[in-house]
Amino acid sequence: MHFFVYICGNKVWFKRMKGRTLNINGQLLSLEQPKVMGILNVTPDSFYESSRKQEEEEIVGQVVRMLSEGADIIDIGACSTRPGAPVISAEEEMDRLRYGLKVLRKVAPTAIVSVDTFRADVARMCVEEYGVAIVNDISGGSFDAAMFPLMARLHIPYILMYMQGSVETMHLQCQYEDVVADTIKKMAVKVDALRNMGVSDIILDPGFGFSKTVEQNYELFAHLDDFQIFEMPILVGISRKSMIWRKLEITPENALNGTTALHMMALDKGTDILRVHDVKEAVETVKLFMSVKKYQQTN
């Protein structure tokens, strides 16, 4: 078990008041029960082929299905960040998102939407033009220096993920002295910077599948509860990822069962948000987890 205290300047990171709510467009979203975030990829090249939705009918169908199955949040992305993926221009990313968000808002005008982007200009457009409520940044502010100041100005929840390298090189950037301690230390620096700028709603994502080997992913997962040291909401995104299908020697298409197994373990380790391709199965997992938790709390 890792025991860790991080000192940043004259500040000691050991404990913070855990935010059990998120400010979503002026309304408080409780995290007392874990939330399910459904993935909407308006891309032609995301790693899981069935998640790719580019035509209006496909987008409508995916949005309606996820909401009917109980998704609390829809996470829309337009630039694939699978290992080695070519990075499209900001203009193309904006064009894809404008199209996808226009379609989404026609069928789900009040849905809670997050945008998966590492570009500040793209995030700003989605928030100001389409009412996106959360920014999900895989780079944790490393790819665009304007991202943190933007979050301070917008005052919306920010998902801070940790990775090393770039989208093109992250599969080569897996060197750590200790993958758990190193990730916590580097996230602590970023959290401190955001707090000093006035950003209050921060969600932490350890970054499974990004700049980590399969075994490093499992080491990080085994110590997922160590991230409770921040006392902030935790998001886990492991749905159908290579840490599952490579370990089981299958394909992403056959990785739902493994995903569900790890989702239950993630919930038991204190995860607040599951980012998933398969909403129905994740919602059922949360429901069963809460049923057990109720009796753990009363006995």
**String of DSSP letters for the chain:** -----EEETTEEES------EEEETTEEEE-SS-EEEEEEE--S--SSGGGB--SHHHHHHHHHHHHHTT-SEEEEE-S--STTPPPPPHHHHHHHHHHHHHHHHHH-TT--EEEE-S-HHHHHHHHHHH---EEEETTTTSS-TTHHHHHHHH---EEEE---S-TTTGGG----SSHHHHHHHHHHHHHHHHHHTT---EEEE--TTSS--HHHHHHHHHTGGGGGGG-S-BEE--TT-HHHHHHHT--GGG-HHHHHHHHHHHHHTT--EEEES-HHHHHHHHHHHHHHHHHHHH-
Q: What is the mean pLDDT of residues 247-272?
A: 96
pLDDT band at 5, cuts 50/70/90? very low
- pLDDT tops 80 at residue 4: no
Residues 52-109 pLDDT 10s: 456 888 899 999 999 999 999 999 999 887 766 678 899 999 999 999 999 999 999 9
> What domains are there in the chain, each with its CATH number?
15-298 (3.20.20.20)
**Average pLDDT of every residue of the chain:** 88
- pLDDT tops 70 at residue 122: yes
User: What pLDDT was estimated at residue 64?
Assistant: 95
Residues 262-290 pLDDT 10s: 999 999 999 999 999 999 999 999 999 99
User: What pLDDT was estimated at residue 164?
Assistant: 79
CA-based nearest residue to 5, from 188, 236, 237, 146: 188
pLDDT band at 12, cuts 50/70/90? very low
User: What pLDDT was estimated at residue 10?
Assistant: 43
Residues 137-174 pLDDT 10s: 999 999 999 999 999 999 999 999 998 766 665 565 66
Residues annotated as catalytic are 241, 275
- pLDDT tops 80 at residue 129: yes
Q: What percent of the chain has pLDDT over 90?
A: 74
